[in-house]
């Protein structure tokens, strides 16, 4: 049961207050949006902040989201993406409480935790109370991958955590404040409304797609490994019915008979290799297979296979890869032909250090 379902725990604290919400299409319980619920309860909501992909979750990754007015409620909708990733002092003016309720997928480069950090910073600066309605993390059973080298900080990686960090957004927020990883951390007043009947090993199927190209639980389980392809010349199937379930490239025709053809569509207006046949692999036949394939951690096999297939290794990676990986070593290790086992060994020391930090802030059993 996610935090939003436990309304008796948060509604009393919101009555008589001026409230802003950080929400999108996932911020619902049994089909009812948090925004609609708060308005029905006569809570004075003043502003709707929305993350990457917009209020309805239909915009492309990286697409500019304009501020707007919600047609149903007449409330101002303020994008926290593009040039305005952090609520300004002006936007926070007159707000007493910010309620954050976004469904995350537990992967460092999925940008909702970056939005969470900026909202925390804005609340600390403006003396605004932050309430996090916690939600299960579908990848919470995993802690794996390179820990971010903070010299590579960006919106797809802001803190020294691994690709898979095994925490809910509520636990992550507590860590950001507790470790002093945000400015003015000591000035932030915050409350997490925890999930009920949940542990990090609980299998949780997301009732609503968190973004336009994570259409299935299969994609959500495969995403941590396949998203690294976004730092290469290989397509992950954006512009098809199976984004983040497959990978391919026009130059791999001699290597595979499996292929797909990306087409422009909502959520992928101009996908990589648009209208060209991409040859590669369907990574998993179904959700259960994807879960089994990835329960050991970050799966590098697709990336290593594609690199070995590439006939133009000099141009295989682009400038985005190191930011996604969180270090400069992974690309070099792949280029040097180092085995997956050896690559994974290079992560162990930093992962152990992170586990020690993480343990302090857990609300749920592993």
Above 70 in pLDDT, residue 59? no
> What secondary structure does DSSP assign to 191-255, as a single string?
EEE--SS--TT-----SS-SBTTB-SHHHHHHHHHHGGGGGBS-B--TTSS-TTSEEEEGGGTTT
**Tokens 């507590």, located at residue:** 174
- Give a yes or no: residue 341 inside a domain: no
b/e code 183-193 from CB counts within 10 Å (16+ = b): eebeebebebb
- Give a yes or no: residue 211 inside a domain: no
**293 and 237 inside one domain:** yes
> How confident is the model at residue 73, as a pLDDT?
84
Angle between helices 287-294 and 217-226 (to 10 degrees): 30
**25 and 156 inside one domain:** yes
Above 50 in pLDDT, residue 57? no
- Give a yes or no: residue 174 inside a domain: yes
pLDDT 10s digits, 275-288: 999 999 999 999 99
**174 and 31 inside one domain:** yes
Question: In the chain, how many domains are there?
Answer: 2
pLDDT 10s digits, 112-153: 999 999 999 999 999 999 999 999 999 999 999 999 999 999
pLDDT 10s digits, 296-309: 999 999 999 999 99
- Give a yes or no: residue 195 inside a domain: yes
Above 80 in pLDDT, residue 62? no
> How confident is the model at residue 75, as a pLDDT?
92
> How confident is the model at residue 20, as a pLDDT?
98
**Tokens 């036949």, located at residue:** 285
Which residues pair with residue 191 across a beta bridge? 131
Give me 37's structure tokens.
Answer: 């619920």
- Give a yes or no: residue 266 inside a domain: yes
Q: Tell me, what CATH number does 280's domain have?
A: 3.90.1150
Domain that holds residue 259: 217-335
- Give a yes or no: residue 89 inside a domain: yes
**181 and 227 inside one domain:** no
What average pLDDT is seen over the chain?
A: 95
């Amino acid at each position: 049961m996610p935090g939003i379902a436990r309304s008796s725990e948060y509604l009393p604290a919101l009555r008589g207050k001026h409230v802003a919400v950080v929400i999108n299409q996932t911020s619902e319980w049994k089909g009812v949006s948090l925004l609609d619920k708060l308005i029905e309860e006569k809570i004075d909501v003043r502003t709707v902040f929305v993350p990457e992909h917009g209020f309805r979750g239909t915009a492309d990754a990286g697409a500019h989201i304009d501020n707007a007015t919600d047609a149903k409620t007449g409330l101002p909708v303020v994008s926290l993406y593009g040039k305005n990733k952090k609520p300004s002092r002006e936007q926070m003016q007159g707000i007493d409480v910010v309620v954050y309720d976004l469904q995350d997928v537990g992967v460092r480069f999925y940008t909702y935790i970056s939005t969470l950090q900026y909202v925390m910073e804005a609340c600390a600066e403006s003396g605004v109370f932050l309430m996090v309605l916690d939600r299960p993390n579908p990848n919470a059973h995993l802690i794996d991958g390179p820990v971010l080298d903070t010299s590579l900080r960006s919106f797809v990686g802001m803190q020294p955590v691994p690709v898979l960090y095994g925490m809910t957004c509520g636990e992550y927020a507590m860590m950001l404040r507790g470790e002093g990883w945000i400015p003015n951390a000591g000035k932030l007043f915050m409350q997490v409304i925890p999930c009920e009947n949940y542990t990090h090993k609980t299998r949780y199927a997301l009732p609503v797609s968190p973004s336009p190209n994570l259409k299935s639980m299969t994609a959500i389980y495969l995403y941590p490994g396949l998203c690294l392809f976004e730092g290469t010349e290989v397509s992950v199937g954006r512009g098809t019915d199976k984004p983040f379930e497959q990978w391919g490239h026009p130059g791999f025709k001699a290597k595979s008979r499996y292929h797909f053809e990306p087409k422009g569509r909502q959520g992928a207006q101009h996908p990589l290799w648009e209208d060209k046949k991409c040859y590669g692999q369907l990574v998993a036949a179904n959700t259960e297979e994807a879960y089994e394939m990835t329960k050991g951690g970050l799966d590098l096999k697709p990336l290593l296979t594609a690199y070995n297939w590439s006939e133009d290794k000099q141009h295989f990676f682009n400038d985005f890869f190191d930011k996604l990986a969180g270090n400069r070593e992974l690309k070099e290790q792949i280029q040097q032909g180092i085995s997956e086992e050896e690559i994974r060994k290079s992560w162990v020391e930093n992962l152990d250090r992170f586990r020690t930090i993480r343990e302090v802030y857990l609300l749920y059993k592993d």
